[in-house]
Structure 1
């Protein structure tokens, strides 16, 4: 692809790309504000979809009748784009997003009309091929097992019927759209970082085998795609670096500056708050990774030698990413209808919390009787604890959440399901009917709308051959251009390398210790990928690294997890250049965000739980001050 004719001026050798969304609920001001910045002279990109939104949109697409008018894309993108259209045209910027979700063509047509209505001639193209439902079902019939990435379980043990399958596409189709003159590129399920990879391929005329450059762009996309996560959002140093300043209420959206060799700088809007420093970049880099290899359908990035360095105020340079060929497969997300779920909450105060929970549980199960077998999930979970000597009633109160899932809509309906009589036995009635024979102080949450069942979805993540994907780019002027699968690929072990540290030092090597929460001196980040949970922990100073790596073995993590340890496999590797230890807790999140019975559906609080656990911290480190 190098040397392809391109009318765009290449006199500026740095691609300045703005990250305008990290999810469907991100702040709508982003595109409008960044579009006004003429220094972002190439691309605005955003991530509008997640595993949760893809299951909803996928079900909408699979359920749609031929004459239906509803669409399965993310309308919030339209709301964010409208006020920015004229500035995008004025500043000759490009836009690349995945907001097309399960209907990129339909969204492209809406956007085409929108830009016309705003008096511009912006050209809109779109990318398809991520819907691999037909190919998936054919392979399933022929005996393909599609083992789960988190658990290695074959899909025939899933217990639900798949309705759609969506492949994670790379950035090549986006690069082709930009090369063919598109101003706005609408995609469906591309990898989160793919718009950045595609934009960099287009801007720098990289080829598909320029793996070092592509790997750096992949990591730039990984850092930018969660919006203000890299500018201070979910940052464990927020207390001193954000909350005590005046820049915590409007964090700036991030900007990447990608050079022709792939190396890049992360910075942010100058006119907004937030911070970009080595720690915020390290935290986001550790987010949602799976091991030392970061796979993408365009390239594989090796991370264990990556280097980040401050280059100035709110500027961090990233180098040292090793590029390798992509695998011949890519990830697919498979959606199934899981059934219905509901919940009821009780508030318990003061003494005998465990006994009160036991009373509620026994009475509820007795009411359900033989109907218990109708539930695929039924949990009684307490959130919070009573303070030692509470100063107010709130600090003496905990939340008992009774959570249920069932494939039977009748018992989840509370009489609201069509055709079900109001006196039909139901989850809500079985739980609530015991209030007057219940525990001392018995008080349910009075908003009982959650007690009526709502649909939920199951999500299965597996691998899919890239050469079975009909990846295509559709231009604004009616052309359809096929995007072939990569021809240079490499096979990688399904299990990434995992190890405890080599030559750990005795933990008394640093002298006297202070018993304190790990997070007093250790930063971290955690998150979900399907039902896997990743956890990255890192220290601020290089001389603390040997202590961290020596302390945090897999065995030590299991000790800190205590009752949260599921007993499943935990992978571990190190990134010494970041003073970081990374863990992957395999299949830890109860089927993942779409169907989890936990409050922590995204795994983001696993890190905060571990950072709160007490360990023996060397006094010499503790005396430097807490985070």
Structure 2
């Protein structure tokens, strides 16, 4: 077990950093429980998502100048309260992004809170992520801000930008800790930035220590989604968690980062879950875009990473390669999209396709020319009816009519709130045909879903770091400017992408069995704006040649079938992890904020691909399914 030392920079010391939150609604017990552990040096957490950025950004941009500043995540305060005394007692540090769009306002609340608990904890905060003014100036001067997922220029977006937030790095956090802060409140720093900043402070690394910084970046990537690396969202859950009754209280993750950057991923000893090579591989593959992982402080190369199971629930990470950061960082631009609503019908038994088509034609006929007022209007059936179903529920599917419009009145969100039979509206047009509808016609009776709710559009692009006013505000009243990195490297916009060299023929491994890919292949997928990433990997070294030979870009398109959008798909490999990674560019209908699909976060793309039938070598299948 690693122990705390007393002098920063000693090569014998290991920093133990615990992830206590992967999102606003993560389990609240983490900070209180981990603050009790005196071997933990730093607690960090992630409270921000692309969805929360748009809501908080709109909240800040739309309020009056004299309005109260509350565009932050107050749930952090609730989590902090029961942990404060132990944080002070054990001399732990805390770094979080819960400040969202008002980090100063949250810091002031926390400063008062630590006084109320009679501690001397010192609270500083970091600003600069709000780049709205700089962004709008650059826009006026002709900058096109091409979309990272689609390469489309922002002048084709069709909506008015409201605000822009940049992803900051960890240098401001490191400087805050060096100057004596105990708690550092940030806004939109990159998810892994608190780990990078804490490790810089703890090990006294400089901005040019790219190998060490890259390791910290990878550690942050693995830790920032909390229990995603300790058994959550894990494709091996059935045998490794459910059958062992080890899944109701997955431990929060802990990273042990050494002075040379190498680290171990582990977890709380007294909680459930599991940390093994597979859970770490799955999280490593989550929400990445290619072999290079960019950050404001460093660039990490992923395709040479190696994982070793040192002991139960302890995985060592090596092979990370670091290089200078790009001169740019990512920004997220928020715009008001309009209003969205939906209506559902339940279809049972025979003739599902024809019933759905009848509803669609009748609804469009009712809308008439008003249909031009909808930017999005989709009719999608979810589910299918088996032959000779055993019960009515299994014979029933859901038809979802989903609409987005900038006309509030048509979405029952303008001068007239609610659906009325005598007022033109999306909800009225969807249900007025019920009495001339399909056999068994049954709408969902909760019409609240058919009343428009505001939604936001979100645009992701690159922004020059030297135009960001990155500042640290210390507990004792100083404001310290954090300069942009000077040692940077310009990388190609398109990352390396390739099908496997020298694929082996399918008969190499003898007889095969037609079965779902996921019976022997683990995986994980997720979103970055409208991009969807998909990582797939096998358990055994001798299965690697089969996986890499099977999963070409062409084969993935074949498996996607009707889900193939016809857009660019990138591919690379991590041989030491037996993993193939795909990036499905612009696959997710504008991303989580405005998507018209159920899978707004891209997490189910992997599960869809894993259920598709492929020819699996019998020698591998006979080892047992996942």
Relative to the length of structure 2, the TM-score reads 0.98
CA distance in structure 1 between the partners assigned to 2:347 and 2:116 by the alignment: 57
Cα shift at 1:420: 11
CA–CA distance in structure 1, aligned partners of residues 578 and 220 of structure 2: 22
Task: Return structure 1 stretches of 4+ with deviation > 4 angstroms.
Answer: 6-12, 414-422
* 1:410-425 map, 5 Å: 410-413=409-412, 417=416, 423-425=422-424
Contact 1:414 1:426 in 2 (8 A): no
Deviation readout 1:269-322 (Å, 9 max, x if unpaired)? 011100000000000000001000000010000111000010000000000000
Corresponding position of 2:580: 581
Unaligned runs of 5+ in 2: 1-5
**CA 417–264 in structure 1, closer or farther in 2 if over 3 Å, else same:** farther
Q: CA deviation at 1:203?
A: 0.1
1:351-395 deviations in Å (ceiling 9; x for gaps) = 100001001101100110000000000000111111222111111
The farther-off stretch of 111-120 and 617-626 is: 111-120
Partner of 1:525: 524
How many residue pairs were aligned? 621
2:15 is aligned to: 15
Q: 1:417 to 1:98 in 2, by over 3 A?
A: farther
SS, match of residue 94 in structure 2: strand
What does residue range 266-277 of structure 1 map to in structure 2 within 5 Å?
Answer: 266-277=265-276
Q: Is contact 1:62-1:164 (8 Å) kept? A: yes
3-state secondary structure, aligned to 1:408: coil
1:421–1:360 Cα change, 3 Å: closer
SS of 1:240 mapped into structure 2? helix
Shift of 1:432: 1.2
Query: Unpaired runs of 5+ in structure 1?
Result: 1-5
3-state SS of the aligned residue for 1:398? strand
Q: Tell me the residue number matched to 1:28.
A: 28
CA distance in structure 2 between the aligned counterparts of 1:419 and 1:597, rounded to whole angstroms = 22
Deviations 1:373-427 (A, max 9, x none): 0000000011111122211111111111000000000000167746999843100
- Distance in 1 (CA, whole Å) between partners of 2:419 and 2:24 is 35
Question: CA distance change for structure 1 residues 420 and 67 in 2, over 3 Å: closer, same or farther?
Answer: farther
TM-score by length of 1: 0.98
In the TM superposition, what is the alpha-carbon distance from 1:76 to its structure 2 partner?
1.3
Pick closer, same or farther for the CA change 1:419–1:556 going to 2, 3 Å.
closer
The answer for the alignment partner of 2:545 in structure 1 is: 546
Following the alignment from structure 1 to structure 2, what is the Cα–Cα distance between the partners of residues 324 and 596?
35
Q: 1:509 aligns to what SS in structure 2?
A: helix
Check whether the contact 2:504–2:546 (CA below 8 A) recurs between aligned residues: yes
Contact 2:19 2:43 survives alignment (8 Å): yes
Instruction: Give me the whole-angstrom Cα distance separating, in 2, the residues matched to 1:278 and 1:62.
Output: 44
What is the CA-CA distance between 1:12 and the residue it aligns to?
6.1
Q: Are residue 331 (structure 1) and residue 313 (structure 2) matched?
A: no
SS at match of 1:99: coil
1:418 and 1:69 map into 2 onto residues whose CA distance is: 28
Structure 1 CA distance for aligned equivalents of residues 388 and 15 of structure 2? 58
- Hey, what's the Cα distance between the residues in 2 that align with 1:211 and 1:253? 28
Task: Give the structure 1 partner of residue 117 of structure 2.
Answer: 118
Deviates more, 1:385-394 or 1:401-410: 385-394
| Residue aligned with 2:282, SS | helix
Aligned partner of 2:3 in structure 1 is none
Structure 1 contact 232–251 (Cα < 8 Å) conserved: yes
Superimposed CA distance per residue, residues 39-65 of structure 1 (whole angstroms, 9 cap, x where no aligned partner):
11x110000000000000000000010
Kindly state the Cα deviation for residue 69 of structure 1 after the two structures are TM-superposed: 1.9
Counterpart contact for 2:418–2:451, Cα < 8 Å: no
Residue equivalent to 2:448: 449
